[in-house]
Amino acid sequence: GDITLEQVREFVWEIPQEGDMRAPARVLASETLLEEIREDKTLEQITNTTHLPGITNYAICMPDGHQGYGFPVGGVGALDAENGCISPGAVGYDINCGVRMMRTNLTYDELQGREEELVDSLFANIPSGLGGGGVVEAGVDTVDEILARGVDWALENGHAVEDDLLHCEDEGMREGANPEKVSQKAKDRGKNQIGSLGSGNHFLEVQRVTDIFDDEVGEAYGLEADQIVVLIHCGSRGLGHQTCNDYLRKIEQQHQGLLNQLPDKELAAAPAGSQLAEDYYGAMNAAINFAWVNRQLIMHRTRRVFERVFDRSWEAMDMHLLYDVAHNIAKKETHTVAGDERDLYVHRKGATRAFPAGHPEVPAAYRDVGQPVIIPGSMGAGSYVLRGGEHSMDLTFGSTAHGAGRLMSRTRAKNEFWGGDVQDELEEQQQIYVKAQSGATVAEEAPGVYKDVDEVVRVSDALGIGDKVARTFPVCNIKG
């Protein structure tokens, strides 16, 4: 039926607790975004989430929220790690899908006129598309090492420098990763995809910085106007997808009792402390490491491409990792809840961690200003760099939005847009050069399928969960 929302204050809406809900749900949105959120099953899904045991404070829908598998994309659910549960659908299929931004010291002036050469070279050298093939081809032994050690493996094998680890969440290595809990089938799917974008929504975009909103934080992040930066969006490929699928099936079989209490089978969850909860957590952490290595290998390959195109070493172009943020994970974190310290599985699905200044888990380089947060818009609109806001711990378990958020389904997008036309328009009207493996992908990802990223960021900034630092605009983009 119709879901009633009560306004708590500007940009904060609540779905009150009733019936079998174990907590209220909250939606963080402007009225415009809320209207868009109302168009699909997002509100129903965020309400369903409050039925999960151990849900703490409230389930949260971010301003970019839209319908997903069971749990909305743009959802945050903190579930008690002792008495609650963990839910693969509330993490998402593409485990540790995420974005990373790399800086350069090139300016837009230096790049103009060479966009096509650059985009062609990136497209030729960065593996993408549905098919197999990555930066490295590995045996299952290597996959196991990547799953256990993450970017540390890349460092040892010449695909990373120490500085890359220092600018990644958890230094690119998730503790508690258990490769033994990742199935053979998942490893087989991943082994020839290490260092590959994949298809659909994943991309590599060269951008220019158009605005700096906060000079002090901008400086701490090494960002200034007209600078060229690179944004890489991809995840754990077939390995993560298979892992999610494996555990959903196992949980459905072994935890029928809990499943029967939930309003949606897609929310299937393993009770905290059960063997399957431990196994899934170990497997998910391993898939997180795999995704970090994937983005790392693509970034390092991008350095080589720039070296060839601009005839300078990547070090001379100052091509350093700014930061890497995860979109789809559950993490055991300690949060203060009503004055008590509690261990929670914080599920962030299509949501980004946004820890504020001073938090011990923010990398040392950024601890004084807060964690960088990267919010992509679309291939025809701006993207943002934010910093974790001072209210994020109180309001959102240290989280904010992850993008503009999808406005229409892929099927509808393919009826409304034609890939070739979208590409021509971007080039002619906005000087944005897009190259993709398939025209259908360009249609599915056309700028018009996404919401207004400026509006999403306005809400994040006003609530103080992620504050505006800089805005970028696309120069060229490759897609699967």
Active site residues: 402
Q: How far apart are CA 439 and CA 409, in angstroms?
A: 16
Contact with ligand 5GP (CB under 6 A): which of 149, 181, 327, 353? 327
DSSP assignments along 69-84, one per residue? SSS-EEEEEEEETTTS
450 part of the interface to ligand 5GP, by CB under 6 A: yes
Residue 205, binding choice from Mn ion, ligand 5GP, none, Cβ under 5 to 8 Å by partner class: ligand 5GP
Residue 80, binding choice from ligand 5GP, Mn ion, none, Cβ under 5 to 8 Å by partner class: none
Contact with Mn ion (CB under 5 A): which of 36, 40, 64, 94? 94
With respect to ligand 5GP, which residue has the nearer C-beta, 73 or 258? 73
Query: Could you tell me which stretch among 66-74, 309-317, 319-327, 457-465 binds Mn ion (CB under 5 A)?
Result: 319-327
Query: H or E segment at 328?
Result: strand 328-337
Beta bridge partners of 345: 79, 332
What is the sign of the dihedral through the CA atoms of 352, 356, 362 and 366?
Answer: positive
Beta bridge partners of 344: 80, 333
With respect to ligand 5GP, which residue has the nearer C-beta, 159 or 241? 241
- Residue 405 corresponds to which amino acid? G
Query: Could you tell me which stretch among 8-16, 81-89, 245-253, 401-409 binds ligand 5GP (CB under 6 A)?
Result: 401-409
Footprint of ligand 5GP on residues 346-385 (CB under 6 A)? 350, 376-379, 383
What is the sign of the dihedral through the CA atoms of 447, 453, 456 and 458?
Answer: negative
Contact with Mn ion (CB under 5 A): which of 235, 238, 376, 382? 235
Residues contacting ligand 5GP: total by CB under 6 A:
23
Q: How far apart are CA 61 and CA 373, in angstroms?
A: 18
CA-based nearest residue to 329, from 450, 243, 204, 390: 243
Site string for ligand 5GP, 153-192 (x = CB under 6 A): ----------------------------------------
444 part of the interface to ligand 5GP, by CB under 6 A: no
CA-based nearest residue to 280, from 195, 185, 324, 345: 345
With respect to ligand 5GP, which residue has the nearer C-beta, 320 or 327? 327
Footprint of Mn ion on residues 381-440 (CB under 5 A)? none
With respect to ligand 5GP, which residue has the nearer C-beta, 263 or 418? 418
Least distance to Mn ion, CB of residue 343, Å: 26
CA-based nearest residue to 96, from 302, 276, 349, 371: 349
Residue 36, binding choice from ligand 5GP, Mn ion, none, Cβ under 5 to 8 Å by partner class: none
Least distance to ligand 5GP, CB of residue 446, Å: 9
**Six-digit token string for 444:** 């599915």
Alpha helices per DSSP H over 230-373: 237-254, 256-261, 275-310
With respect to Mn ion, which residue has the nearer C-beta, 63 or 235? 235
Q: How far apart are CA 104 and CA 112, in angstroms?
A: 15
Q: How far apart are CA 472 and CA 480, in angstroms?
A: 22
Coil, helix or strand for 202?
coil
Least distance to Mn ion, CB of residue 379, Å: 14
- Other C-beta atoms within 10 Å of 368: how many? 12
Footprint of ligand 5GP on residues 47-86 (CB under 6 A)? 64, 73
Q: How far apart are CA 183 and CA 253, in angstroms?
A: 17
Contact with ligand 5GP (CB under 6 A): which of 238, 356, 403, 419? 403
Query: Could you tell me which stretch among 17-25, 177-185, 265-273, 320-328 binds Mn ion (CB under 5 A)?
Result: 320-328
Least distance to ligand 5GP, CB of residue 356, Å: 23
CB-closest chain residue to Mn ion: 97
DSSP assignments along 397-425, one per residue? SSEEE-SS-B-S-HHHHHHH--HHHHHHH
Contact 66, 40 (CB under 8 A): yes
With respect to Mn ion, which residue has the nearer C-beta, 94 or 169? 94
Q: How far apart are CA 151 and CA 154, in angstroms?
A: 5
With respect to Mn ion, which residue has the nearer C-beta, 94 or 246? 94
Q: How far apart are CA 138 and CA 191, in angstroms?
A: 5
**Six-digit token string for 250:** 């196992």
Footprint of ligand 5GP on residues 189-248 (CB under 6 A)? 201, 203, 205, 231
CA-based nearest residue to 58, from 41, 83, 78: 78
Least distance to ligand 5GP, CB of residue 107, Å: 20
Binding residues for Mn ion, per CB under 5 A? 94, 97, 235, 327
Binding residues for ligand 5GP, per CB under 6 A? 64, 73, 97, 201, 203, 205, 231, 327, 350, 376-379, 383, 402-405, 445, 450, 453, 474, 477
